[in-house]
A = this chain, B = another copy of it.
């Protein structure tokens, strides 16, 4: 499996709008076993995205999906920047789609 944990910062006041775009654009991605979008509890503009993929090529391919391309185009003006980004190899647990 292939995993990513990353932080994104929305333009001030735009976090909910950005989250709605992300949820909409990432609902159906082949090879995606989990994709959780979360608000940072301390930083009012920050979003955490935790992704688990079947493998790295599945993640790479997802970036070309029309729904993901549309979300990137629509969301970009609302993104102020990116924070921490950790690459992982998920090994198991609870909540992974099959």
Contact = CB atoms under 8 A, between A and B. Distances in A.
Given A5-B5, A5-B50, A50-B5, A38 B97 contact: no
Nearest to A3: B38
A89 B41 contact: yes
Contacts of A97: 94-95
A42 to B, nearest CB: 7
Given A3-B36, A5-B50, A50-B5, A41 B95 contact: no
A92 interface: yes
29 contacts: A5-B5, A19-B92, A32-B94, A32-B95, A34-B34, A34-B36, A35-B93, A35-B94, A36-B50, A36-B52, A36-B90, A36-B93, A36-B95, A36-B96, A37-B91, A37-B92, A38-B52, A38-B89, A39-B88, A39-B89, A39-B91, A41-B89, A42-B87, A48-B86, A48-B88, A52-B95, A94-B97, A95-B96, A95-B97
